[in-house]
């Protein structure tokens, strides 16, 4: 195996996934194009090693992919939905076979723990299972007409090309949430992954290619274009792409959403979060502390659902802080492939600089360090991407607290009434995930009521981080308002059509209108 990585930690997995020293990052499904654009290299934040390189799409290859995808859609949409579902079922089985290999690559390339890397692949498997069932449940409604001898119903048709722009923190799972649903709905997809984690996308596309080739799926149903941000903007501008799903920062979402909106296209946006847990005086403290810590330091704070604020009742504030300090003192920071470690690296040194800057801004605003932060140095930290998870006592209206920093920084603050706590929870621009820790039914029901959390996700006695496939995932306000994954999120990938059938010998008009000639 010719690999550029300095470590043999994942050599076997790279070989099993077909990753070479130099890879094409451009595919229309089974076919792999040369990749005539810029060369990209993927460095692991775990040890700073160069894993491998790849080539990106050129403008000519972009046009070729679009033409191929358009032709594929015309054929793929005519496949019966359960037959499309069968292909997705087989993909789920192939992902099961490659779970260890792909999960380890995700962990090494992105820096999340091995358990989280494996969990991400499991999410891909789960959404395939969900989509298989969905392929037999793309239901419309039947309605009674006000006109005699008329029948009304609605049906759902595929949209066409779905552009998927994914972020580095979930290199493969969020793509699968979109792709699996889009495929069973009869759409074709073009995937533009983060240029920070191209190898995970290439490995995933290779797995898809095997399944699609075995089933005779038209070339162009699953396309991959590794590149920098320029291709993402091309997808946003392109009228041939009726739907663009983008995961990333609010800044990126505003730019992409604005471009798509100008051409009246559709967009699914999963953007920033600024998630809080309210810890009531009535909380089960063991559950609350465990949820807060995992939510704050899991994936080194690089989840959109990361817990960034703890809003703590004044009566239990000191106890919670003492428990947090003790637990943070036991966190092990290091190689995420070592399952004894709790916290891996940030994605790159720019993320480290943003983390340090956020701490300084919080301190300058009057924040008090409860658990100190800083960059980890010494053996095992040579990549320069490992940082200390920290806790800062702050006020909710500090500018930096209102901002999402993709790092393990937890802000803590006090409240006195449940109404005050909910107002604090809602008083940020983002609206993704939220949680309350309480055994008081008045508090929990108020939190879930119309006057409660304004987030797309509101949890009781579980943390903000993570989500199940069966529920719709997404948020409000500057989080973008999009929904992916479960429930009826599939409707975003289809167009609704209302049909009326007249089986009489007359032409009665609606609302009793007379139009005689």
Which residues are designated catalytic?
A: 270, 304
| 23 beta partners | 54
Q: Do 339 and 119 meet the contact criterion of CB atoms below 8 Å apart? A: no
Contact by Cβ (8 Å): 391, 300 = no
**CA-to-CA distance for 96 and 510, rounded, in angstroms?**
54
* Residue burial 188-208, b: 16+ Cβ < 10 Å; e: rest: bbbbbbbbbbbbbbbbbbbbb
Q: Counting Cβ atoms within 10 Å, is residue 495 exposed (0-12), middle (13-18) or buried (19+)?
A: middle
CB atoms within 10 A of CB 431: 26
Beta strand extents in 71-160 (DSSP E only): 142-144, 150-158
CA distances from 69 to 73, 190, 191, 201, 317 (A): 6, 8, 12, 18, 56
Query: What is the widest separation between alpha-carbon atoms in the chain?
Result: 91
Helix ranges restricted to H, 167-249: 173-185, 198-215, 229-237
Cβ count within 10 A of residue 516: 3
SS3 222: strand
The closest of 446, 450, 482 to 304, measured between CA atoms, is 482
> With 0-12 CB in 10 A as exposed, 13-18 as middle and 19+ as buried, what is 311?
buried
């Amino acid at each position: 195996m010719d690999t550029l990585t300095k470590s043999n930690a994942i050599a076997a997995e790279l070989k099993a996934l077909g990753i070479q020293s130099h890879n094409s990052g451009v595919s229309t499904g089974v076919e792999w194009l040369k990749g005539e654009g810029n060369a990209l290299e993927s460095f692991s934040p775990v040890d700073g090693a160069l894993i491998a390189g790849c080539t990106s799409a050129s403008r000519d290859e972009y046009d070729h992919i679009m033409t191929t995808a358009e032709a594929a859609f015309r054929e793929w949409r005519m496949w019966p939905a359960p037959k499309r579902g069968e292909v997705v079922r087989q993909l789920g089985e192939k992902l099961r076979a490659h779970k260890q290999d792909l999960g380890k690559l995700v962990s090494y390339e992105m820096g999340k723990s091995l358990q989280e890397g494996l969990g991400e692949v499991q999410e891909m498997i789960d959404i395939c299972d969900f989509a298989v069932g969905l392929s037999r449940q793309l239901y419309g409604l039947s309605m009674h007409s006000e006109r005699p001898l008329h029948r009304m119903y609605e049906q759902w048709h595929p949209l066409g090309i779905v552009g998927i722009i994914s972020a580095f923190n979930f290199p493969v799972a969020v793509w699968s949430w979109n792709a699996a649903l889009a495929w069973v709905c009869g759409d074709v997809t073009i995937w533009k992954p983060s240029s920070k984690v191209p190898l995970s996308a290439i490995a995933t596309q290779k797995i898809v290619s095997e399944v699609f080739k075995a089933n005779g799926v038209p070339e162009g149903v699953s396309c991959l274009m590794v590149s920098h941000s320029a291709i993402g903007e091309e997808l946003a501008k392109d009228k041939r792409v009726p739907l663009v799903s983008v995961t990333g920062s609010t800044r990126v979402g505003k730019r992409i959403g604005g471009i798509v909106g100008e051409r009246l296209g559709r967009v699914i946006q999963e953007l920033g979060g600024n998630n809080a847990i309210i810890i009531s005086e009535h909380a089960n403290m063991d559950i609350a502390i465990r949820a807060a810590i995992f939510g704050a330091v899991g994936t080194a704070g690089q989840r959109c659902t990361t817990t960034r604020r703890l809003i703590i009742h004044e009566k239990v504030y000191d106890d919670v802080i003492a428990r947090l300090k003790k637990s943070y003192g036991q966190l092990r920071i290091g190689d995420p492939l070592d399952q004894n470690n709790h916290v891996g690296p940030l994605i790159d040194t720019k993320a480290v600089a943003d983390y340090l800057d956020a701490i300084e801004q919080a301190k300058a605003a009057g924040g008090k360090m409860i658990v100190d932060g800083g960059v980890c140095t010494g053996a095992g930290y040579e990549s320069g991407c490992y940082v200390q998870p920290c806790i800062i006592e702050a006020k909710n209206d500090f500018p930096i607290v209102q901002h999402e920093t993709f790092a393990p920084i937890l802000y803590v603050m006090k409240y006195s009434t449940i109404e005050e706590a909910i107002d604090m929870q809602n008083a940020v621009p983002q609206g993704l995930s939220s949680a309350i820790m309480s055994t008081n039914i008045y508090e929990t029901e108020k939190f879930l009521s119309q006057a409660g959390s304004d987030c797309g996700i509101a949890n009781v006695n579980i943390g903000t981080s993570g989500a199940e496939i069966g529920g719709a995932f997404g948020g409000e306000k500057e989080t973008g308002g999009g929904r992916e994954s479960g429930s009826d999120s599939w409707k975003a990938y289809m167009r609704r059509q209302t049909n009326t059938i007249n089986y009489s010998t007359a032409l009665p008009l609606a609302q009793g209108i007379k139009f005689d000639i």
